Amino acid sequence: MARGGHIAVVGAGLAGPLMALLLARRGFAVTLIERRTDPRRDVVQAGRSINLALSARGIRPLERAGVFAAVEPLLMPMRARAVHPRSGPGSLQPYGQRPQEINYSVGRAALNRVLVAAAERAGVVLRFEHRCLGLVPESGAIQCVDERSGRAFEFDCQTVIAADGAGSAVRASLAAAGACTVRAVPLDHDYKEMTLPGLDGRHALDPEALHIWPRGEFMLIALPNPDGTFTLTLFLPRTGEPSFAALIGAPALHAFFSAQFPDLAPYHAALIEEFRRNPQGQLGTVYVRDWHLEGRALLLGDAAHAIVPFHGQGMNAAFEDCAVLDTLLERGGGWAAVYGEFERLRRPSAAAIARMALENYAEMRASVRDADFQRRKRLEFELERRFPGRFVPRYSMVMFHPEISYSEAWRRGAIQAAIIEQLDRARSADGGIDYTLADRLVRERLPVPIGRDPDARTG
Ligand SMILES: Cc1cc2nc3c(=O)[nH]c(=O)nc-3n(C[C@H](O)[C@H](O)[C@H](O)COP(=O)(O)OP(=O)(O)OC[C@H]3O[C@@H](n4cnc5c(N)ncnc54)[C@H](O)[C@@H]3O)c2cc1C
């Protein structure tokens, strides 16, 4: 593959700088183009997913790029879900059973700064305040405008990697030229972020948990920050009752917070003030077909597969994209062949995580409260202990087993759900499980331990 001519990576969010860094380490000349100002100088915008859950799937690519050591000090471990009912005692539901099975809360801005700095150190040319207007499909050049001077120009490059997010301009120009099809499915729930203050730098809630206030049709969650605060995110229908549309005016807001989140009473006034100030964000899934234009352009991360955030996997999937593309580049071949193989490997996985993320919303906002759900979770953990490497809860496969693809997690998850269903139905009068039946079902239906099937690996 030719090393001559710059590769343009559009978007210095999360995937862009990581991909630029990996390319630079492979000896390519890379220019990273970003419409925003340099995050190392910028003040963080309030209300835009301030922190994110990072899991093993996202950590591996960071290690591959040699940047994890710089990211690690930013991480807050989250070992369990802390469930806050409207009344009565809450519960702590561990995410996994092994000490390493934890997720981490990480600040988006701090992570972004580390990645951008690492890309720059690796020799990537950074072009902030440069907006990409689109791609010229015939030549592969990208059209840009320097936001400071207003000067428009064309950037000739050997190939373009578009990591410009869910609203990708590069994708729009490919779609306009008939080179890809895009189906955007908005969620009818929006979100709003607020801050739970710390007490003299200490956290007001257990800092080693992701907190959930599941309320059936909607939920509030909280992820810890290193400064003693939590970022709260309210996910709520756009219209109807209750909804963002119905939460207008102080009395309605006070009544809502008092009824739904009584344990946060000391913070209601501050939260309501922030609620009124902060933007209301939209969510959705973007399904794209044809992620590449021969060898001239490739869509990556949210530009190729934006998903709803309920499995905490959008960034993790975007990072995994970077590692898979890097592996394919290591194997060699022309850009067109590499991009074709990338889409072949990743599109089924993107579809699987898109689906699991939507399903997880129902789990987080409703099922976590049910005794049935908790009983089945306990059974899943028990089967994992009895059949290690063979029966692994789907949540754990997605979050803690990057050695298998999302699509394999989906496939095995469906088999396991049927096994759990059968065992649960066959419980004895005193609730006992027939482990002889469990043994037979697991051996018959999950004959291959996870990670042993080469076709089921991430790529
Ligand atoms: C509320 C919320 C919570 C989330 N929580 C999680 C979580 O817990 N875990 C997780 O893994 N994921 C989470 N996600 C998803 C995650 O934010 C995305 O999947 C991730 O940011 C995708 O990375 P990306 O680099 O593809 O896109 P982005 O991070 O969106 O980066 C795109 C970049 O491109 C730039 N850009 C856009 N257009 C242009 C243009 N025309 N020219 C130049 N630059 C441009 C943007 O300014 C931006 O910097 C969450 C998302 C939301 C909305």
Protein residue closest via CA to atom 50 of ligand 1: 309
Which residues, in sequence order, are bridge partners of residue 214?
219
| Same domain membership, residue 134 and residue 169 | yes
Tokens in use for 344?
Answer: 């072949």
Residue 83 lies in a domain: no
Residue 87: inside a domain? no
Residues 72 and 164 in one domain: yes
Q: Is 180:288 a contact under the CB 8 Å cutoff?
A: yes
Q: Does 272 share its domain with 132?
A: no
Split at pLDDT 50, 70, 90, the class of 44 is: low
Separation of 417 CA from ligand 1 center, angstroms? 32
Tell me how far the alpha carbon of residue 414 lies from the centroid of ligand 1, in angstroms. Answer: 29
- Neighbour count for residue 277 (Cβ, 10 Å): 11
How high is the pLDDT of residue 50?
86
Ligand 1: nearest atom to the Cα of 131 = 42
Q: Which one of 277, 301, 316 terminates a domain?
A: 277
Quick one: pLDDT at residue 4? 62
Domain termination site, one of 277, 305, 331: 277
Lowest pLDDT segment from 124-128, 191-195, 280-284, 361-365:
361-365
What burial class does residue 191 get, using C-beta atoms within 10 Å of its C-beta: 0-12 exposed, 13-18 middle, 19+ buried? buried
Q: Residue 270 Cα, ligand 1 centroid: separation in angstroms?
A: 28
Residue 13, ligand 1, Cβ within 6 A? yes
Q: How far is CA 90 from the centre of its chain?
A: 26
**Closest CA relative to residue 79, chosen from 57, 64, 99, 62:** 99
Query: pLDDT per residue over 412-428, tens digit each?
Result: 999 999 999 999 999 99
User: What does pLDDT average to over the chain?
Assistant: 95
Residue 325 CA to residue 174 CA, distance in Å, equals 20
Region 74-90: mean pLDDT is: 95
161 in the same domain as 309: yes
Give first-to-last CA distance, the chain, whole Å: 20
> Is position 406 within any domain?
yes
Same-domain check for residues 200 and 289: no
450 token code pair: 């996870």
Total domains, the chain: 3
- 208 CA → ligand 1 middle, Å: 25
Residue 335 lies in a domain: yes
Q: Does residue 70 belong to any structural domain of this protein?
A: yes
Ligand 1 atom, smallest distance to 170 CA: 41
Any domain includes 140: yes
Q: Which domain covers residue 238, as residue numbers?
A: 189-277
* Residue located nearest, by CA, to atom 30 of ligand 1: 165
Secondary structure of the chain: what % helix, strand, coil (to 5)?
40, 20, 35
For ligand 1, what atom is nearest to the CA of residue 36?
A: 47
Atom 20, ligand 1: residue with shortest CA distance: 315
Nearest to 210 by CA among 401, 30, 77, 340: 77
Instruction: State the pLDDT at residue 368.
Output: 79
- Summarised one tens digit per residue, pLDDT across range 250-306 is 999 999 999 999 999 999 999 999 999 999 999 999 999 999 999 999 999 999 999
User: What's the DSSP call for residue 397?
Assistant: H
Residue 353 shares a structural domain with residue 385:
no
Which residues, listed in sequence order, are joined to residue 298 by a DSSP beta bridge?
161, 292
Task: Give the per-residue pLDDT at 1.
Answer: 61
End of a domain among 257, 277, 297? 277
Atom of ligand 1 nearest to the CA of 233: 1
Q: Give the residue, 458 or 103, on which the prediction is more confident.
A: 103
Classify residue 167: in a domain, yes or no. yes
* CB of 164 shorter than 6 A to ligand 1: yes
Tell me: do 248 and 170 sit in the same domain. no
Diameter over CA atoms, the chain: 76
For residues 60 and 327, the answer to whether their CB atoms sit within 8 Å is: no
Tell me: do 251 and 384 sit in the same domain: no
Q: Is the CB of 107 under 6 A from ligand 1?
A: no
Residues 167 and 194 in one domain: no
- Per-residue pLDDT, 451: 86
Domain assignment present for 50: yes
Radius of gyration of the chain (CA): 23
Share of the chain above pLDDT 70, in %: 97
Question: How far does CA 266 lie from the centroid of its chain?
Answer: 31
Q: Is 301 in the pocket of ligand 1 (CB under 6 A)?
A: yes
pLDDT digits (tens, 9 = 90+) for 218-243: 999 999 999 999 999 999 999 999 99
Q: What pLDDT does residue 369 have?
A: 84
Residue 324 φ then ψ, to 5°: -65, -45
Q: Pick the residue whose CA is nearest to atom 53 on ligand 1.
A: 49
- Both structure tokens of 174: 């490919």
Residues 182 and 198 in one domain: no
Tens of pLDDT, residues 145-190: 999 999 999 999 999 999 999 999 999 999 999 999 999 999 999 9
pTM over 0.85: yes
How many angstroms is it from 302 CA to the middle of ligand 1? 6
pLDDT band at 3 (very low <50, low <70, confident <90, very high): low
Q: 445 CA distance to ligand 1 centroid (A)?
A: 38
Q: Is the dihedral of CA 179, 181, 186, 192 positive or negative?
A: negative
- Which CATH number covers residue 348? 3.50.50.60
Residue 299 CA to residue 322 CA, distance in Å, equals 11
Q: Are residues 273 and 294 in the same domain?
A: no
Regarding whether 227 and 155 lie in a shared domain, the answer is no
Ligand 1 centroid to 412 CA: how many Å?
Answer: 29
Please say if the pLDDT value at position 246 is more than 60: yes
